[in-house]
Amino acid sequence: MNPITMNLVADEYIRRALQEDITSEDISTMSVCPARREAQVQLIAKADGVIAGLGVFERAFTLLDPSTRVDARVQDGDRVENGQLLAMVYGDARVLLSGERVALNYLQRMSGIATYTRRMADALAGTKTVLADTRKTTPGMRIFEKEAVRLGGGANHRYNLSSAVMLKDNHIDAAGGIARAVVAARAHASFTCTIEVECETLDMVREAVDAGADIIMLDNMDHDHMARAIALIDGRAVVEASGNVDLDSIRELADLGVDVISSGALTHSAGILDLSLKHLRMIEDEGVSAGAADIALHAGEDK
Annotated binding site for substrate, which residues? 101, 134-136, 158, 168, 198, 219, 242-244, 263-265
From the list 58, 100, 147, 198, the catalytic residue is 198
Active site residue 101: yes
Q: Hey, how many other C-beta atoms are within 10 angstroms of the C-beta on 173? A: 10
User: In this structure, is the dihedral angle defined by the CA atoms of residues 223, 228, 230 and 233, taken in order, positive or negative?
Assistant: negative
From the list 147, 219, 240, 259, the catalytic residue is 219
> How far is 78 from 68, CA to CA, in rounded Å?
23
From the list 46, 119, 168, 303, the catalytic residue is 168
Q: For residue 251, which phi and psi values (nearest 5 degrees)?
A: -70, -35
From the list 37, 46, 119, 136, the catalytic residue is 136
Active site residue 168: yes
E strands of the chain, at which residues?
Answer: 38-45, 49-50, 69-72, 79-80, 85-92, 130-132, 165-167, 195-199, 215-219, 238-242, 260-262, 275-282
Closest listed residue to residue 245, CA positions, set 125, 111, 131: 131
From the list 46, 101, 206, 251, the catalytic residue is 101
- Cα distance from N-terminal residue to C-terminal residue, the chain: 27
Active site residue 303: no
Residue 92 · residue 36 · CB < 8 Å: yes
Active site residue 128: no
> How far is 292 from 91, CA to CA, in rounded Å?
10
Helical spans, DSSP H, in 161-239:
169-175, 178-188, 202-211, 223-233
Residues catalogued as catalytic: 101, 136, 168, 198, 219
